[in-house]
Amino acid sequence: MSKIIVIIHGWSDDAQSFQPLAKYIRKHCTPSVKTIKLIDWLSMDDDISYTDLAEAFDQEWRHKELKRTPHSVDFVVHSTGALVLREWLTKYFKTPSKSPAHRILMLAPANYGSYLADEGKTFMGRVFKGGFGDTGKKLLDGLELASPYTQELSARDIFKGWFDPTKKHLVTTLIGNKGYGGLTNITYQDGSDGTVSIPCANPIPFEINATYTTDTDSYHLSTTPFSADTAFAVFDRYNHSSIAGKKRINPKLGEAIKRALSVTAETWPQHKQWIAQHSVIEREQYANLVFCVKDHLGQPVDRYFVLLSSWLKQGKLDKLEGIIDVHRLKTDPSRRSFIIDVGKLKKELKGSDLSLQVIADPTCPPEKTSERIAGYPAQQDIPAIRIAANQVDTYLAPGKTIFLNVSIPRLFHKVVTISENK
């Protein structure tokens, strides 16, 4: 059966820059490829949202009478193009069994945002990208680190089992570990490709739920179960542009592309093994830890700090390093992204357990005060989340985004009083 391959570009880009990749695919990939479509979409309009793009995408897809048959189309997406595709699939096909997608090759996808998204909305971002004009504000809001959009999108597809070979979605993700060089390298962040951090590219997240009891004596820790299996690799010395083969495609990248666009459910284990063998992920031990803190009433907690510590044998807390960057979401300060060098953190732990403590402000005073206040437990009144040393690689999985949803008690002291009328 002839195969259609669709290529989708990212933010501040266009279909023309993917002509070299399209040409390579046509020449070197499976002979069943008869049609290659290049999707061009408007990314620099401040009023355009992901919902808008999904609707416009679907209208154009229907207008061109492209296939909607389940698992009949392969997709190659770059950067923000991954979010555009996922938004369309989940909005208009609802379940993986109805999706037209079969193989999906993600090249440097911004599945959980980009550390440059916030810069794109600034004045200088407009100068360099928009020329004083629009830069795609709504899209960049969704691309900002710790954005609720990317977590919500994952709840719609990944946590519903979409990225599972048994559901006929065969997903391969490739990202580099090198900056662009030159003046643009001043914005380079360790553990990234110059635009997207490695853990933000990996489509498979991990979600932890930590719920404190209202008396703050204890907490309940759980994880969100789901079924997913993708091939993920960090390719050495590639940046955000070169991984998309915009200038040239060397043999290793070319082989990865050919394999990703020809793999079957039967050859999936061998494909994953080949991808893993050519990855340098073991050298790039970075995680994206996203905190979402609310009180037990479901209200966002805006003012808090996180203490990342080792739990020593004496039960004391010892401050650790290992945090590369912290980003607080401007539109919702209860959400924050911590890019963590897990390898460095583990070395500092020296086999000790890991402690995570969220301390919110203001703290509610003890009963003896006459002050009337609503607040949160003081540091000494709320236990730290304790993660066993042998579980650190699970709860802070290198190469992944970890959503940590924390619920802490909201405390009240004399906020409402009732007196008897005598």
Q: What is the mean pLDDT of residues 163-189?
A: 89
pLDDT of residue 321: 75
CA–CA separation, 398 and 344 (whole Å) = 11
Split at pLDDT 50, 70, 90, the class of 122 is low
Q: pLDDT value at position 372?
A: 80
Q: Is residue 209 part of a domain?
A: no
Q: Are 35 and 1 in contact (CB under 8 A)?
A: no
| 368 band by pLDDT with thresholds 50, 70 and 90 | low
Residue 59 and residue 174 share a domain: yes
Is-cis flag, bond preceding 362, omega within 30? yes
103 found inside a domain: yes
Range 291-299 average pLDDT: 97
Question: What is the pLDDT at residue 311?
Answer: 85
Average pLDDT value for residue range 43-60: 97
255 and 276 both lie in a single domain: yes
Confidence of residue 422 (pLDDT cuts 50, 70, 90): confident
Residue where a domain terminates, one of 283, 299, 325:
283
User: 162's torsion region: left (phi>0), alpha (psi -120 to 50) or beta?
Assistant: alpha
The predicted pLDDT at position 315 comes to 46
CA-nearest of 244, 248, 204, 259 to 228 is 204
The helix (H) or strand (E) run that includes residue 149 is helix 148-156
Minimal CA–CA distance to 261: which of 65, 86, 107, 87?
A: 107
Indicate if 318 and 247 belong to the same structural domain: no
Reported as a pLDDT band with limits 50, 70 and 90, residue 215 is confident
Closest CA to 2 of 35, 26, 24: 35
Report the C-alpha gap between 373 and 413 in whole angstroms. 5
CATH number at residue 388: 2.60.40
Strand order across the 304-311 sheet: 317-319, 304-311, 353-360, 385-387
Q: Which amino acid is at 378?
A: A
Q: What is the pLDDT of residue 309?
A: 86
pLDDT > 90: percent of the chain: 79
| Higher-pLDDT residue of 58, 318 | 58
Select from 40, 49, 42 the least CA-distant residue to 17. 40
Q: What is the pLDDT of residue 181?
A: 83
Residue 344 has pLDDT above 60, yes or no: yes
Give the mean model confidence (pLDDT) for residues 226-239: 96
pLDDT at 172: 98
Share of the chain above pLDDT 70, in %: 92
131 and 257 fall within a common domain? yes
Assigned domain for 214 exists: no
Q: Domain check: are 261 and 296 in the same one?
A: no
Question: b/e for 86-116, b at 16 or more Cβ within 10 A?
Answer: bbbbbebbeebeebbbbbbbbbbbbbbbbbb
What CATH number did the domain enclosing 9 receive?
A: 3.40.50.1820
Cα distance between residue 163 and residue 278, in whole Å: 22
What is the average pLDDT across 82-88?
98
Predicted pLDDT at 318:
54
pLDDT of 362: 93
pLDDT at residue 250 greater than cutoff 90: yes
Provide the 3-class DSSP secondary structure of residue 239.
coil
Is residue 179 one of the residues assigned to a domain? yes
pLDDT exceeds 90 at position 251? yes
Let me know if residue 58 belongs to a domain: yes
Q: Across the chain, what does the average pLDDT equal?
A: 91
8 in the same domain as 129: yes
Q: Three-state DSSP class for 185?
A: helix
Residue 352 lies in a domain: yes
Looking at residue 314, what is its pLDDT? 40
Rounded-to-integer distance, Cα 5 and Cα 93, Å: 18
Q: Are residues 251 and 305 in the same domain?
A: no
Domain range enclosing 361: 286-413
Contact status, residue 299 vs residue 410, Cβ threshold 8 Å:
yes
Domain boundary among 236, 254, 283: 283
Two structure tokens written together for 314: 């004496």
The reply to whether 369 and 258 lie within a common domain is no
Given a cut of 70, whether residue 2 has pLDDT beyond it is: no
* Cα 35 to Cα 236: distance, rounded to the nearest angstrom: 31
Element (H, E) at 403: strand 401-408
- The DSSP-derived string for 64-84 is TT---STT-EEEEEETTHHHH
